[in-house]
Amino acid sequence: MPKDVLVLSGVLRGQGNTDALLSRLLHGKKSDCLWLAFGGDTVSPCVNCKACKTQSVCRIADGMQKVYSAAQSAKYVVLASPVYFGNLTGFLLDVLSRFQCCFKDGYRTAPIIGPKKEGAVILTAGGYGETAFAEKQARLMLKMLNVENPTMITSYQTDTVSAISDTGALNKIDALRRRWFS
């Protein structure tokens, strides 16, 4: 049965700030979600084997196959990650690298994956966090999944204040939840 929500989670440990915001968004909807998460799935980075030059698909058989498949039917895509040194987690960067199979010689040759979807990016960062680069990479990944203009939800200073206390982030989460699931 197809899932409505594809969740790409870079959360490295459960019960943290990113997980709290993600759980609030998807509360009661987890059975409608296909999760690709660090620790539960293995995704190797692109190894530049060039098999996709002749096959139009990635030859590496791992958790990424779930993303390619789920993207065909998902209505929504959520990318959630803590930000470390201004970047998404390594797991999500490995996922991003695997969209290389959509390009040949620098040009898009494979179709964007699946129909147009709505999407969201949830980022948490300690301090005032420099998230511009992480946001750019997240937008690129979602664009590869045919999501344009995702809702951006960020929570800063999570080293001193829990994201679940960030009223700005919570308001965005609640508004998105109403729009998607009401």
Reported as a single tens digit per residue, the pLDDT across 64-121 is: 888 888 888 899 999 999 999 899 999 899 988 888 887 766 666 666 677 889 999 9
State which amino acid sits at residue 134. A
CB burial readout 19-44, b (16+ within 10 A) else e: bbbbebbbeeeeebbbbbbbeebebe
Q: Tell me the sheet residues that pair with 119.
A: 77
Question: Using one digit for the tens of pLDDT, what is the confidence trace for 122-148?
Answer: 999 997 768 899 999 999 889 888 898
**Coil, strand or helix at 153:** strand
> Residue 48's closest CA among 63, 58, 62?
58
User: What are φ and ψ of residue 124, in 5° steps?
Assistant: -125, 145
Q: Which domains does the chain have, with CATH numbers?
A: 5-181 (3.40.50.360)
- Tokens 């790409």 locate to 8
**Confidence label for 166 from pLDDT (cuts 50, 70 and 90):** very high
Rounded (5°) CA angle 124-127-129: 55
Provide the whole-model pTM.
Answer: 0.91
Question: Using one digit for the tens of pLDDT, what is the confidence trace for 2-18?
Answer: 679 999 998 877 788 99
